[in-house]
């Protein structure tokens, strides 16, 4: 019998991205809940970047740059909802929109400054 049935040398054993996705969500929730701007933005950046990495690693996207754009769209919608609806929490909505802006800037910089569109590892 094999010591590790079903595993071969051709497949990776684990991906680091689910851990960072799982950490990004509660960090950003704590920042949004208690109105801590840097914590909310940092947690959302960790979450968004990890989702883009996960999507790229699983071959749903060729590069992480456009995935960053896709992650930022729901953040803009959520931030606008916090700022302009009956929820009326503009500081927290601004933190969410700021994270979306930073993700768009990172996606734009990655698209413009990598010569072939692939991430430079």
Q: Which phi and psi (to 5°) does residue 85 adopt?
A: -115, -170
Question: Quick check: is 72 in a domain?
Answer: yes
Q: Is residue 10 part of a domain?
A: no
Instruction: Flag whether 6 is in a domain.
Output: no
Confirm whether 4 is domain-assigned: no
Reply yes or no on whether the pLDDT at 32 is more than 60: yes
Q: How far is CA 104 from CA 3, 13, 14, 59, 75, in A?
A: 46, 31, 28, 21, 11
Distance CA 15, CA 106 (A): 22
Boundaries of domain holding 56: 17-113
Q: What is the pLDDT of residues 75-113, one digit of tens each?
A: 999 999 999 988 888 999 999 999 999 999 999 999 888
Largest CA-CA distance found in the chain, in angstroms, rounded: 62
- pLDDT for the residue numbered 1: 45
In a domain, 104, yes or no: yes
Domain total in the chain = 1
Report yes or no on 2 lying in a domain: no
Residue 94 inside a domain? The answer is yes
What CA–CA distance (Å, rounded) separates 39 from 64? 23
In-domain check, residue 11: no
In terms of C-beta distances under 8 Å and separation of at least 24 residues, what long-range contacts does 23-26 make, across chains too?
Answer: 24/48, 24/50
């Amino acid at each position: 019998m094999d010591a590790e049935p079903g595993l071969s040398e051709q497949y990776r054993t684990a991906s680091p991205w689910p851990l960072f996705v799982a950490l990004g969500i509660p960090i950003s929730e704590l920042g949004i809940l208690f109105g801590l701007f840097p914590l909310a933005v940092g947690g959302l950046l960790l979450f968004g970047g990890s989702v883009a990495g996960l999507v790229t690693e699983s071959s749903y996207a060729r590069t992480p740059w456009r995935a960053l754009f896709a992650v930022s769209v729901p953040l803009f919608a959520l931030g606008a909802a916090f700022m302009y609806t009956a929820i009326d929490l503009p500081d927290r909505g601004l933190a969410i929109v700021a994270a979306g802006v930073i993700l768009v800037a990172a996606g734009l910089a990655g698209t413009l400054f990598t010569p072939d569109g692939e991430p430079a590892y």
